[in-house]
Amino acid sequence: MGQSNQTRLGLKPNSFLQFWARTVLDAASPPIRIWPPLSVYRTIAGGIFFFYHHPTSVPQEKFAKNDSIIQNVQLWACLSHLNSGKMMPAPPTPKTEKLEGLSMPGTGLHKTVLITGVSRGLGRALALELAKRGHNIVGCSRSQDKLSSLEAELTSASTSSSSLSSQGKHLIMNVDVRSNSSVEELAHAVREKKSIPDILVNNAGTINRNNRLWEVPVEDFDNVIDTNVKGVANMMRHFIPLMLDRKQQGVIVNLSSGWGRSAAGQVAPYCASKWAIEGLTRSVAKELPTGLAIVALSPGVVNTDMLQSCFGTSASLYQTPEAWAPKAATMILNLTVADNGMSLTV
């Protein structure tokens, strides 16, 4: 009895669709021929791709049982379109009102970047990287004890910048993003000092200690949701109006996670909060006037205190915040209104 193509090629069962995607791609180069015709594959793959991305038509949970299959279907659909010489259709642009009179500062100008959770980890590394490039930082954090040292480091980084120094333009404040009134005070200070951001990076976040959901203390669950979701909403509530008042284009970056696009045991509160960020971002993207953009940005896997709390010593196998920051800074600085509503990864 002959082996199946799948067995002969050493593919795992869940790689079946990927095998067919490869077949479709290879079919572009004669003399390989496949049956049924490519149009049949494109129709099937395109149909599944459509239904997966339109959960209002088909319950998404029916497809979510095997994410690897869905990813293979998406790859299959993409390769099918490439084989036909067509581009995959771009996602529909959200219908938004047009905000007149907006202009984008030139790429060579210094930008003002507001970063929450700036006292450590990704926020601190990103702030220092941007300061080195001559940009002005507005930073906030709950950790007052670490903010003084950060302020000195930012000044030093700005002074050593090869571009024009932004020394003296940084604003660092002790703010609890969970508190609407605390964020309101930050917004007032930013307006008074004329430091309204070109880019808002909602980075502040926390994670629960590894535990099954029903064993997570109520206060831990509340802290994750209040910081990761309500904190982002508080920042947008007060800073979107300020950014609109500037009459210039701006970008809001909501730090998401790979666990905001998948799931894992022991961290259900964190996963829920990052799924919320993905949904919040897409919804707000439909509300923003033309001229402002909002994206959900997954940083990838980085060795931070949060990762260490989940992975233990294994976290050291991953990149440091300092290694991550240059890539993230370049990506964030190059975001435009065309990226509105996107889910991106560094």
Which residues are tagged catalytic?
Answer: 270
Q: Which residue has the tokens 């989940």?
A: 310
Each as own residue / partner, the long-range contacts of residues 149-158 (CB below 8 Å, 24 or more positions apart, any chain) are: 150/118, 150/119, 150/124, 153/128, 154/127, 154/128, 157/128, 157/131, 157/132, 158/131, 158/132, 158/134
| Residue 81 contacts residue 87 (beta carbons within 8 Å) | yes
Greatest CA separation for the chain = 80
CA 39 from chain center: how many Å? Answer: 35
- Return left, alpha or beta for 21; rule: phi > 0 is left, psi -120 to 50 is alpha, else beta: alpha
Pairing of strands 112-116, 136-141: parallel
Nearest CA to 273 out of 216, 337, 329, 189 is that of 216
How deeply is 277 buried, as exposed, middle or buried, from its count of CB atoms within 10 A (0-12, 13-18, 19+)? buried
- What would the two tokens of residue 44 be? 């099937």
Dist CA 286 CA 212 (whole Å):
35
Q: Which residue has the tokens 């060579």?
A: 108
How deeply is 128 buried, as exposed, middle or buried, from its count of CB atoms within 10 A (0-12, 13-18, 19+)? buried
At 158, which amino acid appears?
S
Main-chain dihedrals φ then ψ at residue 277, nearest 5 degrees? -65, -40
Per-residue CA distances from 289 to 92, 198, 293 (Å): 16, 15, 9
Nearest CA to 285 out of 90, 94, 22, 104 is that of 94
- What would the two tokens of residue 22 be? 């490869």
